[in-house]
Chains A and B, each alone.
Chain A
Amino acid sequence: MTWMQMTRKMKINAAKAYVADKLGIDVMDLTNEEVMRDIRADLKIGTVTSIAGSAKGIRAKYKIAEVLGINIRSVDLFKRDLGI
């Protein structure tokens, strides 16, 4: 939701609806740990507990930008540097 406020100036309810739609879940489940845990792992957008070899940092942000359809400036720089 923070990314959507930062990149699209979305108010909180619009940001929740946008993210929930992209994840294919109900708004209520955005804060449902039982649902979000699997979604985070499946989409490789970063899990709360650390799993060896799992996405975190710039790898997770790369996927977050992809899933949400937004530009994250650090990711854009990373991609430019790698020629992606």
Chain B
Amino acid sequence: MEDQFLHDLRRAPSPEFASRLRAGLRAQGTPSRARGRSPAVPWLAAAAAIAMVSFAFLFPEVRVGAAAFLDMFRVVNFAGLRFDPQRIAGLKASGVDFPSLLGQVEPLTEPTAPVSYADASEAGQAAGIQVRLPAWVPPGYTLAETLVTAEHSARVTANTAKLQTVLDALALDDVRLPDGLDGQVATVHLPAIVGMTYRDGDRALHLIEARSAEVSFPAGFDVPALAQAGLRILGLDRDEAYRMANSIDWRNTLVVPVPVDAASFRQVNVAGADGLLIERARGGGMLLWSTGGQMYALSAPLGAEALLEMAQSLQ
């Protein structure tokens, strides 16, 4: 064969090298059979992360007490926020721990394993919501699994030292944190979540339904000022951060970070409700919307039209 000489130059890696590399990977936590993430996971993670991002902007200025919680954050709207994932990765690599950036997070309930239900209405009863099912799903997909994740609460005690350190490190000297924040406490309540997975062979789509997450915080707190700091850290320039921080209603808008190089987003109408459609550059996407006091997230390897059709068929 003409090309046999090219094949003949192959050589097996040395056993020492193969063993050394394998050991190194295992040292990083490589399991013998690890679960990969589904196409939906980055978006589901984003949906979960929106709580952290938005909640991070909502800290109280008074101490926790019976009369301290004078206002409440609930999700009514969604807003997309472009961010550079490499910037975030760089910050994480330099030691920035985002969940604790604004203070100490203390779980008030222990996380429990999700519970599987054979019937969506039973799952809804367990979660305390009325589950709506799609009248239309893409051909080939069938409901394969319904899980309920229990509600969860956490208390966040503000400490701006870390945040100020990050601002200083990034030379964001135009940002001024609100006074009187340290030591103040907010309570975050994440509701029970019903997650339904539809499968067509290896392909899966995920529909999530839950009551709105809530954060208790005091009225009168200068949320835009803190939001502006967060937006600057995420990479927005000074003017853009100021404009966005002061144009969003932070009491009812959940901010969804969208990687600038991987996806685009736009506002859409979902059966009369405002929704946020995130479309991945490599296909598939996620649709977020809220109606009747419940949040919905639909993540699937589908185009925008099919996502919307399925979402609008919920009943």
Do these two chains really belong together in a complex?
Answer: no
Question: Using a CB–CB distance below 8 Å, which chain B residues touch chain A?
Answer: none
A-to-B contact residues, CB < 8 Å: none
